């Protein structure tokens, strides 16, 4: 990754789509709030999903990075959108689409590529986040009550250990982000977009 290019891009993207996970003064980037409001998804969840999927260690901290590709379980970060798109075209020659995830939310091209008009569009951070929000909302609608479960469904709709492990990672990042355990109800989505996870009842 060309560090000089990242340093140029970082001030442009920071504040709209990027936020260091260890940031002391919490302020969710504008882009996540904008997309979340459209699809009724907690913006905190959308941000942490992106962080889980595409995080890169930059000078400002560990941040979601839009020019990211995962091929058969191996992640690649690129300095520019054009570099990522060119690499994707090469990967598509040797790997099936269901083995390739792209963009800031790592949308799988085989299962969810229909959300984009082109592979170039798949790297657009806002279009990629919109696809993630649609998937998260659909997961929640099928099994309402827990956005953590929706996150697990986003990663692995069939459930199982992969989904459980992903939910744990999401929850751990939320704890770091807010120093608390977070979730949201449909009512709170409509009135401020805060997210507080209901505590388990003691047996």
Tens of pLDDT, residues 164-188: 999 999 988 888 876 643 443 343 3
pLDDT band at 62 (very low <50, low <70, confident <90, very high): confident
Q: pLDDT exceeding 70 applies to what percent of the chain?
A: 74
Distance CA 117, CA 203 (A): 50
Residue 113: which domain range?
Answer: 3-190
Residue 84 is given by DSSP the state: H
Asked, for residue 199, whether it belongs to a domain, the answer is no
pLDDT at 27: 65
Asked, for residue 67, whether it belongs to a domain, the answer is yes
Judge whether 106 and 67 are in contact, CB under 8 Å: no
Q: Which of the residue ranges 3-17, 26-40, 79-93, 181-195 has the most confident prediction, judged by mean pLDDT?
A: 79-93
pLDDT at 190: 41
Asked, for residue 66, whether it belongs to a domain, the answer is yes
Q: How many domains does the chain have?
A: 1
| Residue 64 confidence (pLDDT) above 60 | yes
Asked, for residue 48, whether it belongs to a domain, the answer is yes
Model pLDDT for residues 94-139, shown as the tens digit of each residue: 999 999 999 999 999 999 999 999 999 999 999 999 999 999 999 9
Asked, for residue 201, whether it belongs to a domain, the answer is no
Mean pLDDT of the chain: 80
pLDDT at 29: 83
Distance CA 32, CA 23 (A): 16
Asked, for residue 41, whether it belongs to a domain, the answer is yes
Distance CA 42, CA 5 (A): 31
Q: Between these two residues, 174 and 82, which has the higher pLDDT value?
A: 82
Asked, for residue 128, whether it belongs to a domain, the answer is yes
Predicted TM-score of the model (pTM): 0.78
Query: φ, ψ for residue 98 (rounded to 5)?
Result: -70, -5
Asked, for residue 139, whether it belongs to a domain, the answer is yes
Give the 3-state secondary structure of residue 70.
strand
Distance CA 192, CA 138 (A): 21
Judge whether 195 and 147 are in contact, CB under 8 Å: yes
Who contacts 19 (Cβ-Cβ below 8 Å, separation ≥6)?
27, 28, 29, 47, 63
HEC sequence for 7-33: HHHHHHHECCCECCCCCCCCCCCHHHH
């Amino acid at each position: 990754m060309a560090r000089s290019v990242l340093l140029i891009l970082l001030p442009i993207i920071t504040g709209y789509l990027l936020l260091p996970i260890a940031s002391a003064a919490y302020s969710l980037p504008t882009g996540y709030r904008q997309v979340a409001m459209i699809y009724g998804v907690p913006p905190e969840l959308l941000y942490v999903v992106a962080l889980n999927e595409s995080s890169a260690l930059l000078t400002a901290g560990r941040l979601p990075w839009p020019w990211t590709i995962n091929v058969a379980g191996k992640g690649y970060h690129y300095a520019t959108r054009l570099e990522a798109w060119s690499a994707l075209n090469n990967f598509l020659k040797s790997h099936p689409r269901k083995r390739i995830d792209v963009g800031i939310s790592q949308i799988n091209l085989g299962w969810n590529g229909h959300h984009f008009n082109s592979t170039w569009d798949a790297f657009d951070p806002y279009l990629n986040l919109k696809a993630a929000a649609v998937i998260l909302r659909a997961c929640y609608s099928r099994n309402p009550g827990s956005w953590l479960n929706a996150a697990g469904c986003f990663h692995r709709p069939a459930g199982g250990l992969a989904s459980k492990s992903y939910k744990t990672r999401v929850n751990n990042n939320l704890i770091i982000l807010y120093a608390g355990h977070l979730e949201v109800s449909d009512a709170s989505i409509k009135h401020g977009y805060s997210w507080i996870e209901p505590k388990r009842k003691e047996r």
